[in-house]
Each structure stands twice: as structure tokens, then as C-alpha cells.
Chain A
Amino acid sequence: MRILEAPKPGETLELNWALVADFLTRFLREELAWRGYDKAIVAVSGGVDSATTLALAVRALGPEGVHALFLPHRQSSPLSREHAHLVAGSFGVRLEEVDITPMVEGYAAQTPDLTPHRKGNLMARARMMVLFDKAEAYRALPLGTGNKTERLFGYYTWHGDDSPPLNPLGDLYKTQVWGLARYLGVPEVVVRKVPTADLIPGQTDEEDLGVRYLRADVILEHYLKGYSDAYLLALGYTEEEIRRVKERVNRTHWKRALPTAALLSSTAIGEFYLRPLDYRP
């Protein structure tokens, strides 16, 4: 008699990338179409998220339907420029560069107490201003590039990099973006580089967050699906990692929502008066 034991059940982050790419390509085409757009615009940073977004946009709309912007500040890493050009070239899109230094430094000159953190937020919001203005100029819809991990952690500038109306990667963890990026042919040097917001010199995401993406994403997926801490501890994750991940999620629910309006009536928007965003009778 053979004695068999079922493998321990768990969650996998590995997806069918071909199916995901097909789905997200259709998502971009259809969601642009009903809004009356046939072109998209992406701010390319040199990182893997914007590279993957650009790759999807080119799949959906062709290179002629995609504008790519590179929006450096003088403090930005030279590697960011190199990788942004590499990415745009790989997908056959011309890269337009707009230096945000004068915008940011114009305010910084008037603000002697500006901290590096505040200046980083300023850069993100300056980029958002340029992205939306260029979008208007080209009649193109801005695409967001934020992934699920950073959305859950609130690791972005509110009303900065989270502001574009369409976000194809928003339900994919960082490690899943790496998988999709490889499938779509994003240059390996961009996929493998250490993730950074590049808002402060020398900054890396994983140092800021205090946990590795590979580990955070597994914890997040199990946490969101209702697994216990004990289950995660048995998988080899530490109490400190689990605590840190849960704390980041639960401190930032406000950041994933629209601004709070005081409710005074029984027709309050989004509370009583409920219509989906694509409702247009």
C-alpha cells in the first residue's frame, strides 16, 4: 500500500503571464475607448513598474499610440535616465524629456526648511502636473504605474503618482510585476535592479519599507485571504515582518480612498448616491 500525503495548501503568486498580458491589453483598449481616447501617456522612470506599463500600452495601442515621458530632477540617478531610454527604445517609443528641476527648485528656494522627504513629495507632484499637462496636449490618457504592494503599503505620494485614471498593474504585487515584465520583454537589467523611488539619493524601497518584496508579498497575499499569523510563522516569516506588513496596510486605508466629505444628506455622493464611474446613460 502506498501512503500519500497531500502537499500543504497555500497561495501562489505565480500567474499565467500570457493570460494576464492579454487581459491587461484588453483592459487598456476598452477602458480608453469608452473614455474617448485612443492614445496613452506614461511617465517612464527607468524602473520596472513604468517599463511594464509602457510595454502593455504598446501592446494595446501600438508604439504610435503611446507617449513616453522622462521627468528627471537634477538629483535623479544617472542610471534612471539610461534605463528610461533603454526601455523606451526596447518598445519603439520616442522618449520626451522634461526636466522638473526648475519647478521643484523654484519652490525649494523659497522654502529653507524643506526636508528631503517633503522635496521627494514635491518631485512626485511636479511629475504629476507635467504628466497631466502633456496628456492634455497630446489628447492622451495618463496611465498609472503603481503596483499592489506599494498601494497596500501607501508607499507613494498621495495625489502624485497615484493620480492617473487608469492603472493596469494595481492588482499585481511587486513580485508579480517582475514576472509580467520578463514575459513582456522588459530589459533584464531593469527587472533585476534594486527598486527605488529615486526621490532621495541612495534611497531603496526595501530599506524604506523594512521588509523584502519577495517576503512582503507572500505575507500580504495570505493576510488579505484571512490566513492566521500562526500559519505565516509556520511558513518561516518572522513576527517582526508580519507586524510591519500589517501595520503598513492598516495605517494607510485613507490613502487608498477619495478625500473624506462630511455627510449631511441622504443624497451624499458615494454614500447614498451610488453610480459606477463608467455609468453614462
Chain B
Amino acid sequence: MARHVILQFRPEKSRLRESLARLRAHLEALRPQAPEVVVLPETALTGYFLQGGVRELALTRFELLELLSQVHKELAWEGLLDVVVGFYERDEGAYYNSAAYLELPHRIVHVHRKVFLPTYGVFDEERYLARGRRVEAFNTRFGRAAILICEDFWHSITGAIAALDGAEVIYVPAASPARGFQGERPENVERWRTLARAVAAEHGLYVVLASLVGFEAGKGMSGGSLVVGPEGRLLAEAPLFEEAALLFTLDRERIPPVRYDSPLLSDLEAALPLLLPDLERVLAKEVP
């Protein structure tokens, strides 16, 4: 059992210090709720659309840890605090759209680098960023987890790899500009809800989506963060377009009975080796 909060956050655009001050104020407000894991959106401390400004605002993972440890210290937070946070990462000469799982105040548990960089329409990530190459689960003090960033999660294969690697929860920091206003919710928000439920139900795990809010030069980040349980049920959902803190307790004990009753993950584990030759074939573009 781990007490989580999804912090649906609005950064101070391109202003790291101001965003950290805002984060500190929100954590102070949440202190009575005693969260153990705080999940923040993609690019939470700078905003998403920076273009060439990435070069000026990216942090190394060690700088990120130092900045957030400082927040932990200033708050005089009692004990450890785990944080999942999206940030622009600098590593030697390369820049990534990354998300870290930190155990504050001292430990970098894992850093995931976004693999699928959207470069179409309003998105232009590959122009400014290098591509991550790994999807892997990792151990936290509360169990095994994986991180997928935004479009990473829109491809079913990444969730499958995370699940096969033992993830009980997939954290998904996202930044999704609202578009398609025909229905009850924007189309992109509907798509997130459908995907999150499908991936959670297929693999019998939790999906925790933390979605950015705030306008960035006309693009309105949609929010609508959510948590889906291993049965594929939507457990809680944050409002659209505005900051919110969504509290929930993640109960790993639900996972074994759900997977026992619906053993799709073990079916995948058994059948995937049979399909690998076909995967290799289609990737090689061979005609059967």
C-alpha cells in the first residue's frame, strides 16, 4: 500500500526557480495528506514547448536531484518522499525528454528517456531532442514500476514490455494539448482514458497518468490526469485544464487475484516467443 498523489501541475513557463517555488507551496498544502509518492507531469518544471530553449533549461539528473532535495529540505519533510517528475535532461552533449523516479532526499532510483518523440503537427520533439532507447521496469521501495512518457504510452508494445519486466504500476507523465472539441471531453483526453483502461486491463497493473495543465502560447494542456486499477477500472480522475491534486492508495495486493482471474499477461509471456520470428520478419520488410 502506498499513498500516492498525482499533482496535475501548471509550471511557470521556462522559469525553473519559480516552478520549484510553486511545487514547494503545493507540497506544503499536501503535507497533512501524507503522500508517499508524488507523480508530476512531463516537463513539469519548465513547460513543454521550449523549442531551442531546451539547451538553456535542461538539467542533468544530478542537478534535478539536488534541486528537489533542496525543496524536501526547505519543507523539513519528515522521512522519505518519492517523486516521479518529467524534465528536460542534459547528458554530455545530448538532450532528452526524461522522467526520473527519485527517492528524496538522496536517491535517483531510475531515469526513463522518452523513446517515441512526436514530430508532427504541433509537436517537434525530434528536432530538439535525442531519442531514448530503453523501456525497463525498476524496483522502488513500494514495488516494481515503469515510466513511459506521453507518446511512449500510445504504443501498446511499450506497456507490454513494462508488464513483462514485472511492472505493477506504469507512471505516465504527459503533456497533451487539448484538441477536438466535438464531444463531452477533448478527443485527446478521450484517447488517454481509453488507452489507460486498455493497458491496465490487458496486463493487470495500475496506470497512473499525470497530465500537465496551463496554456503555452495558445496551446492549452488538457489535464484530466487519472488512475486506473488492474481490472481496467477508472479509479479517479482530475478535472480538465486546471491544477489539482488527486490522492489515492495504490494497493499492489489487488494485482495477483486480478491476474489469476484474467491471465492475459502470462498468456503473452507464453506466446510472445512464438511471435518473435514474425516480428523480425515484418521489421525486415520481407514478403512472406
| A positions within 8 Å CB-CB of B | 12, 14-16, 19-20, 22-23, 26-27, 30-31, 34, 273-281
Contact = CB atoms under 8 A, between A and B. Distances in A.
Chief secondary structure at chain B's binding surface: loop
Contacts of B216: 276, 278
Contact of A281 (B49, B57, B240): B57
A26 B217 contact: no
A274 B52 contact: yes
B56 A281 contact: yes
B218 interface: yes
A30 B215 CA distance: 6
Nearest to A19: B181
Interface of B: 13-16, 47, 49-53, 56-57, 178, 181-186, 214-218, 220, 240-242
B53 A26 contact: no
B17 to A, nearest CB: 10
A23 B182 contact: no
B49 A276 contact: yes
A241 to B, nearest CB: 24
B184 to A, nearest CB: 7
Given A14-B182, A16-B182, A19-B185, 9 more contacts: A19-B186, A20-B181, A23-B241, A27-B215, A34-B13, A275-B52, A276-B51, A278-B13, A279-B53
Given A23-B241, A26-B215, A31-B215, A276 B182 contact: no
A241 B204 CA distance: 53
Contacts of B220: 23, 26-27
Question: Nearest 10 pairs between A and B by C-beta?
Answer: A274-B51, A30-B215, A15-B181, A274-B52, A278-B217, A281-B14, A279-B14, A276-B49, A277-B217, A279-B53
Chain A contact residues: helix, strand, loop or mixed: loop
19 contacts: A15-B182, A16-B183, A19-B186, A23-B241, A26-B215, A30-B215, A31-B215, A31-B218, A274-B51, A275-B50, A276-B50, A276-B53, A278-B14, A278-B47, A278-B49, A278-B217, A279-B13, A279-B14, A279-B50
Contacts of A279: 13-14, 50-51, 53
Nearest to B51: A274
A16 B186 CA distance: 9
Contacts of A23: 178, 181, 220, 241
A269 to B, nearest CB: 11
A169 to B, nearest CB: 12
Among B13, B49, B57, B218, chain A packs the most CB atoms within 10 A around the CB of B218
A23 B15 CA distance: 24
Contacts of B241: 22-23, 26
A279 B218 CA distance: 13
B253 to A, nearest CB: 38
Contacts of A278: 13-14, 47, 49, 216-217
